[in-house]
Amino acid sequence: MHVELHNINKTFGRVRANQDISLDFEPGRIYAILGENGAGKSTLMKIMSGYQSADSGEIVVDGQPVAFKSPTDAIAHGIGMLYQDPLDFPPFTVLENFIVGRPGGFFPDAASARESLLTLARRFNFPLDPDRYLDMLTIGERQQLEILRLLSLNVRALILDEPTTGISAGQKTALFDVLKSLARDEGLTIILVSHKLEDVMELCDEAYVLRRGRYVGRADIPCAIGDLVALMFGKVVERQERPPVGRGDPVLALDGVCLSSRRLTVHDVSLKVRAGEVIGLAGLDGSGQAEFIRSCAGLLSPERGTIKLCDLDLTHASYHRVAQAGVAFLPAGRLEEGLIRGMTLVQHFALTMPGKQPWVNWLRAYQTTAERIRAFNVKGRPNNPIQTLSGGNQQRFALSLLPQRLKVLLLEHPTRGLDVESALYIWEQLLQRRADGTAIVFISAELDEIVAYSDRILVFFGGRVTLVEDPADMNTTRLGELIGGKLAS
């Protein structure tokens, strides 16, 4: 399918998300859409997939101008999008989610849908059980289901927004094999929105680059990564050396902790985290690291063992009590758990401001919000609804909401979906907290991030835990083997 975008424009208030963007996507090729957070990538793809409408401009499919009022219209014309957070229904089964959007009205043919799902799953080697509930699946499996659903609806141009965020290396390999096959063997047009330049080099044929809402250039792949970075940011971005910091006394201590969830049991975790120390949690999705970090935050009580903060027993304490003791948790789901969709930035600060009065000092809240926006370089205004900010700016704002002084900061995928510059900025802020004595415990699916920033690494495999005392002796290959259970005892 040949898709052309002609002079696409989109504004949100004073923000010009897309400015006169014209791009050309030919069948049988895999394209990357690159740019810093807030560059307009997701907005452009949402317009192309019918999720949003452009203020002006034109979409042309196989030589014919088209107008989309909804994603259903786009799918009917052969364009489908896989979002970074899949738009599915966790209370339903795999089969029920697969049926969504299929023709058949109120009485779809479930038997035919099941056969179609199983046929596609076998064809692409996606091990999906039609009767399994969606909330039991990993992010990678949910992505696989959505790809199969779109293919069953005869999509010929497939857009993927940050598809490798939060999935395992094996799932990424399987995904890339399928995408290459769809482009090479079946002539689909594949468009990848990503900040991971190594993924772009591995998968794509060509890259289009946006900066501040404008198209600034293209590159044939392979090319020098530095050339892409310079196009994205107008400069070469380099990681800063991590300054050494002396570790203090233990602030968080887990002794013989056993955790259970619907998916697995985490066995016998003992760990002492010191002030000013960074602990990285590594493992395949669903291996127990999410349960571990939520137990430290007071969101999951252990079945056995103890959790203490500076000799204060918090084993079965509530999230509120743990937060009052000096522990903060920043989850991966920004708009699902960390922030509140529909509320403005200033309203978020009003919720976090201490005070005994039964009313809100809105002037103070507005001033504080404006100060934090400047301090954390957030591209937004105090009265903007939080969902109108890009993912990177949502993450910066979430960090700005945290109390200034903390004993322990727990982070789940702190740079998830962020471009290179935004990720470095986030870690600049985190390492400043580390220098001030805050202990940091973070989960990441990026092995190089784990190795680069951790003083020690806790590796999870099937609910079992291995402690790596000296990351200096660890590279991403050896860490990947440990995550896969090769070296686990």
For 311: left if phi > 0, alpha if psi spans -120 to 50, otherwise beta; the answer is left
295 compared with 166, residue with greater pLDDT = 295
The domain locations on the chain are: 3-233, 250-483
Domain 3-233 shares a fold with domain 250-483: yes
137 compared with 477, residue with greater pLDDT = 137
488 pLDDT higher than 50: no
* Residues facing residue 61 across a β-bridge: 3, 64
Give all strands of the β-sheet with 56-61 in edge-to-edge order: 15-25, 3-12, 56-61, 64-66
- pLDDT tens per residue, range 170-185: 778 888 999 999 999 9
Band of residue 390 on the pLDDT scale cut at 50, 70, 90: confident
Longest dimension (CA), the chain: 70
Residues 34, 231: Cα–Cα separation, whole Å: 9
308 pLDDT higher than 90: yes
- pLDDT tens per residue, range 394-426: 888 998 999 888 999 999 988 877 777 778 888
489 pLDDT higher than 60: no
487 pLDDT higher than 70: no
- pLDDT tens per residue, range 458-471: 988 877 888 888 77
Q: DSSP string covering 280-297, please?
A: EEEESTTSSHHHHHHHHT
Average pLDDT in the 375-385 region? 89
Q: Is 392 exposed, middle or buried (0-12, 13-18, 19+ CB in 10 A)?
A: buried
Q: Which tokens belong to 153?
A: 């609806």
Q: What is the CATH number of domain 3-233?
A: 3.40.50.300
* Residues facing residue 280 across a β-bridge: 442, 457
Cα 51 versus chain centre, distance: 20
Average pLDDT in the 234-238 region? 59
Question: Quick one: pLDDT at residue 314?
Answer: 94
Band of residue 485 on the pLDDT scale cut at 50, 70, 90: low
Contact 466, 488 (CB under 8 A): yes
- pLDDT tens per residue, range 63-78: 999 999 999 999 999 9
- pLDDT tens per residue, range 249-264: 999 999 999 988 766 7
- pLDDT tens per residue, range 430-446: 999 999 999 999 998 77
pTM of the complete model: 0.65
- pLDDT tens per residue, range 118-148: 999 998 888 899 999 988 887 778 888 988 9
Q: Which fold has domain 250-483?
A: Rossmann fold (3.40.50)
Residues 489, 376: Cα–Cα separation, whole Å: 43
4 pLDDT higher than 90: yes
* Residues facing residue 9 across a β-bridge: 56
Contact 35, 41 (CB under 8 A): yes
Residues 30, 34: Cα–Cα separation, whole Å: 13
Question: Quick one: pLDDT at residue 48?
Answer: 96
Amino acid in position 9: N
Q: Which tokens belong to 284?
A: 């395949």
Summary mean pLDDT of the chain:
87
Q: Which tokens belong to 55?
A: 């203020």
Q: Which of 238, 159, 229, 166 is nearest to 197 (CA)?
A: 229
Contact 262, 269 (CB under 8 A): no
